[in-house]
Amino acid sequence: MPSEYYTADGFDGTADGPLWASARRHLRALLAVFLLVSAVVTALAAAFDLTAVVPSSVLPVGLSPRPQSEFRLAVEVGTLAGAFAAAVVLVGAVGRDARVSLSRGRRQAAVAPVAFAVAAVCGRVALPHVVGAVASASGRPVLDAYWAAEVWLFFPVTLGAAAATPFLLAAAVRAGVVGRYTSTRQRGYAALAFVAFAACYSPPDGATFVLFAAPLFAGLAAGVAWLEFR
């Protein structure tokens, strides 16, 4: 692949690239957007019974969630929406950096939402089978309503994010947002983000944690391999 396609090849991970520089420069604005959107979406989601979206084939019969569980689901939906809104604002800020040309990565960026949607739909279709497999692996014959609702809401998001990651990474590299060759520190940041996501949005058992974290790591590995070894 010709090097001119990778405008950020010179970044060595020791100095601020456009992404980290923009994040630091606009940290207060990003935090404000995250908190505002999180609060609004949480308030809206709290008005609904989020476990009602789970079909009877997944939700155990005769179990009703506790109010605090319903509110926790609303908080999780709200914070996820807040993080997405902050990411959109950050992309706009990065695009104003003189070192960045977002138009270079528009082709890969356009594929990312398609990959997200396809993977999310596949995850939703396969979810009843996944629930059974996790129940067997965790040794829990009966799963509670909160567990089922959390997996139903966020597992498809996990698969979608994993499928979109290689395309987003390629778009970021082509646009000059990050370097083609990732450093150990950058991979560590990504790993920390994936672990934090799996810990916050998956039920508290080891089998489900792996179910959420593994696709994200696989998506990152595919993206890194695509960029560094083609």
- pLDDT for residue 146: 77
CA-nearest of 89, 95, 85, 93 to 171 is 95
- pLDDT for residue 141: 52
The answer to whether residues 183 and 12 touch, using CB atoms and an 8 Å cutoff, is yes
Three-state DSSP class for 49?
coil
Domain positions in the chain are 3-229
Q: Which alpha helices (H) appear in the chain, and where do they start and end?
A: 18-25, 27-45, 67-95, 106-138, 145-175, 184-201, 206-229
- pLDDT for residue 6: 46
Query: Average pLDDT by consecutive 10-residue portion of the chain (230 residues)?
Result: 44 63 92 97 89 65 54 92 95 88 88 96 87 68 71 92 93 84 75 91 84 92 81
Write out the two tokens for 162.
């994993």
At a CB cut-off of 8 Å and minimum separation 6, what does 206 contact? 138
The answer to whether residues 41 and 82 touch, using CB atoms and an 8 Å cutoff, is yes
Instruction: Determine phi and psi for 179, rounding to 5 degrees.
Output: -80, 155
The answer to whether residues 50 and 42 touch, using CB atoms and an 8 Å cutoff, is no
Tell me if the pTM is above 0.85.
no
